[in-house]
């Protein structure tokens, strides 16, 4: 079994409350929210980052993006939101298990730092 933090969360080992869960993915609130809504959506399968994505993950990624849309609707983000996938060291990735940030509930600035 993997020691990876988000693999453990995905397996339900840390008692994390899921906002949405299927066989393939899980969504939960970020422990250090950067906006009123800050949700992380992960594949349960260990994929290190976007840079390690394989063609076989195509359906899983489609499911994940549709889940983000559903979560955004549930959170009432009709005025917009941002989806971020930090990738690798220069991308600011701190947890080496692919995750999509869903951020919303305030006006977000651009460009990021
Ligand atoms: P990254 O910097 O890799 O794009 O994003 C990792 C995110 O995971 C950060 O926003 C951080 O706050 C969040 N995070 C780190 N550890 C935990 C945890 O144990 N539980 C939850 N819910 N979020 C975490
Ligand atoms: Zn993992």
For position 96, which CATH number holds? 3.30.428.10
Q: How many structural domains compose the chain?
A: 1
In a domain, 13, yes or no: yes
Kindly tell me if the per-residue pLDDT of 1 is higher than 90.
no
In a domain, 63, yes or no: yes
Mutate-to-test residue for ligand 1 from 27, 32, 41, highest number of ligand atoms within 8 A of CB: 32
In a domain, 111, yes or no: no
Mutate-to-test residue for ligand 1 from 9, 12, 29, 40, highest number of ligand atoms within 8 A of CB: 40
Predicted local distance difference test score (pLDDT) of residue 26: 98
Residue 41 φ then ψ, to 5° = -120, 125
Pocket lining: 6 vs ligand 1, CB cutoff 6 Å: no
Q: What is the pLDDT of residues 15-70, one digit of tens each?
A: 999 999 999 999 999 999 999 999 999 999 999 999 999 999 999 999 999 999 99
Output Rg (C-alpha) for the chain, integer angstroms.
14
Pocket lining: 30 vs ligand 1, CB cutoff 6 Å: yes
Predicted local distance difference test score (pLDDT) of residue 28: 99
């Amino acid at each position: 079994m993997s020691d990876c933090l988000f693999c453990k969360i995905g397996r339900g080992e840390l008692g994390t409350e899921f906002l949405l869960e299927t066989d393939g993915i899980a969504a939960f609130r970020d422990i250090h929210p950067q906006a009123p809504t800050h949700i992380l959506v992960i594949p349960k399968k260990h994929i290190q980052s976007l840079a390690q994505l394989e063609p076989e993950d195509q359906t899983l990624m489609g499911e994940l993006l549709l889940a983000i849309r559903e979560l955004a609707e549930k959170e009432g983000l009709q005025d917009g939101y941002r989806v971020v996938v930090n990738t690798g060291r220069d991308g600011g990735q701190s947890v080496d298990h692919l995750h999509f940030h869903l951020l919303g509930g305030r006006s977000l600035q651009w460009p990021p730092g």
